[in-house]
Amino acid sequence: MTDLSQNPAGAAPRKHGGSLLEKSPHTKKRNAAETRFKAYGIAAITAGLIMLLVLVTTIVGKGTGAFQQTFVTLNVELLEAKLDKKGNRDLADIKKVTTFGYAPIIKGAMEAVIEELGIETSLKSKELAGILSKDVAAQLRDYVIANPDQIGQTVEFRFLASSRVDGYLKGRVSRDSIVNDKNISAEQLDLVDALAAAGVLEKTFNLDFIFGADASDARPEAAGIGVSMLGSLFMMLVVLALALPIGVAASIYLEEFAPQNWLTDMIEVNISNLAAVPSIVFGILGLAVFINYMHLPTSAPLVGGLVLTLMTLPTIIISTRASLKSVPPSIRDAALGVGASKMQAVFHHVLPLAAPGILTGTIIGLAQALGETAPLLLIGMVGFIASNAPETLADGLLAPNSAMPAQIYEWAKRADPAFYERAWGGIIILLLFLVTMNTLAVILRRRFERRW
């Protein structure tokens, strides 16, 4: 049994007559082994907690930058000669001016502000405009088309700075790192410093990251996670609408009605197996059945929702069964005793009592589905720019969209490191959702769970 009863090789037998207060070498060795063993355990836990700490600090440290963005405030003179040559404010004519037509106006505005502030620079006007985002011309054009009456006036605008300038203010881009960068020069950074000192260029909270749409490869500063958040929302609606009723129905049958036979056994085995099937296999199923066979649209949140439903069903069934099981048989017996049918006993008495537990399990299942990425890759929710927010319910379900985790993956794949900051920022938002859902589940459980 233990080392006590034998004399292990190498350890001297305890000599009689020695002091009891003095520990024998053998005891010392055993005590040392004990301390070592305990230390391993502490080391393991510390290692795990350190990993968690590193993970969280990395996410927070690298992601918070995405919530801030550098903006340049400029007074722009909307020259009539450039924007509406005929001067009749005809929308069709105004729309004919492409974003290229707006470039001189932006350059002019930059030159004006530099002159006003008295900054000396040898940069050409094109390089001056280079510190602004490529998105600016489109923003200006949208404004002019929406407000044609403002042509000829001077309007104050808040423009996005380019991602390099933004990175410079956030410390991601340094003067050393841009030596071979053709998108920005040291001269431009001098100008940025001067503009920042004058308060024209400043870093502020960026709401567009949370609610905005994704942007193309060249404009990381304009990319937001809002549209893919909607995609995730529609997927979760599908999952909730399908997985909850089906999961609850299946659990009620298995827990309350199922006779002990081969069919029941088969269902049980299948559910426990499905819970362990890798998520990517569900993606293959979705691709083969929903897209290739049923011809549902690719990249649609409906398809994503269906796939995630199949994936979360086992989770919901397992937790629902546990909460049905925790309702004591006396409740059923009492209901049956006063003349309820078995169905009535279950639906009128057991189910309401189990509802908090079912809800908790469902929220946890939804949280799991919200963070799942692999199946979404296969049904085509990556590889494009999710830029259009859906307007109707049908649009939201059927129009191609991304989802939060898929959007993060998409950003992580892009070449410009400015997107990495967005990816970490997206993870913060995703984790906030998950934390909220899990907290909700814990509160529900604490608040409503009954001990019988």
Partner 1 sequence: MPTFWLVALLIALSAAGFYGGRRRAIATAAGNVKDLHSLPSYYGYHVALAAFVPAIGALAIWLLAQPMFIENRVSGMIPAEAIPESSSIGLVMSDVRRVAEGLDLAVEQGLLTAREARNAVAGEQDLRALMGEVGVALGSKVRPEVLNAAQAYRNLSHTGRIAMTVVVALLALGGFAFAYARTHKDFRARNVVERAVLALLILAASLAILTTVGIVLSMLFETKNFFGLHSWTDFFFGSTWAPNFRGGSELSILPLLWGTLYISFIALLVAVPVGLFAAIYLSEYASGAVRAFAKPLLEILAGIPTIVYGLFALLTVGPALADLFGKGGLLGVEWMTGATSVLTAGLVMGIMLIPFVSSLSDDIINAVPQAMRDGSLGLGATKSETVRQVVMPAALPGIVGAVLLAASRAIGETMIVVMGAGAIAKFSANPLESMTTITTRIVSQLTGDTDFASPETLVAFALGLTLFVLTLGLNVLALYIVRKYREQYE
Site for partner 1 in 293-312 (CB under 8 A): 293-295, 310
The two three-digit tokens of residue 81, written as one number? 């000669």
68-77: strand order across its sheet: 154-160, 68-77, 201-205
d(CA 449, CA 319): 14
Q: Pick from 412, 414, 440, 444: which binds partner 1 (CB under 8 A)?
A: 412
The sign one gets for the Cα dihedral 183, 189, 194, 199 is positive
Toward partner 1, which CB reaches closer, 60 or 197?
60
Binding segment (CB under 8 A) for partner 1, from list 87-95, 141-149, 161-169, 282-290? 282-290
Q: Pick from 18, 25, 28, 40: which binds partner 1 (CB under 8 A)?
A: 40
Toward partner 1, which CB reaches closer, 55 or 197?
55
Beta carbon of residue 253, minimum distance to partner 1 (angstroms, whole number): 4
Q: Binding of partner 1 at residue 11 (CB under 8 A)?
A: no
**Half-sphere CA count of 326, side-chain side, radius 13 A:** 17
Q: Pick from 75, 147, 154, 273: which binds partner 1 (CB under 8 A)?
A: 273
Q: Binding of partner 1 at residue 249 (CB under 8 A)?
A: yes
The sign one gets for the Cα dihedral 165, 168, 173, 177 is positive
Pairing of strands 68-77, 154-160: antiparallel
Q: Binding of partner 1 at residue 37 (CB under 8 A)?
A: yes
Asked if residue 306 lies in contact with residue 286, where contact means CB atoms within 8 angstroms, the answer is: yes
Run of H or E residues at 41: helix 25-63
Q: Binding of partner 1 at residue 431 (CB under 8 A)?
A: yes
| Span 49-88, contacts to partner 1 by CB under 8 A | 49, 51-52, 55, 58-59, 62
Beta carbon of residue 75, minimum distance to partner 1 (angstroms, whole number): 40
CA dist 287 → 307, 312, 394, 395, 409 (Å): 9, 17, 21, 20, 19
d(CA 401, CA 303): 11
Number of residues in contact with partner 1, rule: CB under 8 A?
90
DSSP letters for 56-74: HHHHHHHHGGGGEEEEEEE
Q: Pick from 108, 224, 380, 425: which binds partner 1 (CB under 8 A)?
A: 380
Q: Integer distance in angstroms from the first to the last C-alpha of the chain? A: 42
Binding segment (CB under 8 A) for partner 1, from list 7-15, 134-142, 322-330, 364-372? 364-372
Nearest alpha-carbon partner for 192 in 105, 77, 71: 71
Angle between helices 103-117 and 186-198 (to 10 degrees): 60
Q: Binding of partner 1 at residue 258 (CB under 8 A)?
A: yes
Asked if residue 203 lies in contact with residue 169, where contact means CB atoms within 8 angstroms, the answer is: yes
The two three-digit tokens of residue 118, written as one number? 């008295």
Q: Pick from 71, 102, 209, 420: which binds partner 1 (CB under 8 A)?
A: 420
Beta carbon of residue 102, minimum distance to partner 1 (angstroms, whole number): 29
Toward partner 1, which CB reaches closer, 278 or 352?
278
Beta carbon of residue 288, minimum distance to partner 1 (angstroms, whole number): 4
Asked if residue 140 lies in contact with residue 105, where contact means CB atoms within 8 angstroms, the answer is: yes
d(CA 323, CA 365): 15
Binding segment (CB under 8 A) for partner 1, from list 177-185, 193-201, 283-291, 331-339? 283-291
d(CA 347, CA 360): 19
Toward partner 1, which CB reaches closer, 215 or 346?
346
| Span 304-363, contacts to partner 1 by CB under 8 A | 310, 313-314, 317, 341, 343
Toward partner 1, which CB reaches closer, 139 or 312?
312
Toward partner 1, which CB reaches closer, 154 or 273?
273
Q: Pick from 279, 353, 414, 440: which binds partner 1 (CB under 8 A)?
A: 279
Q: Pick from 21, 42, 92, 415: which binds partner 1 (CB under 8 A)?
A: 42
Toward partner 1, which CB reaches closer, 45 or 197?
45
Toward partner 1, which CB reaches closer, 139 or 368?
368
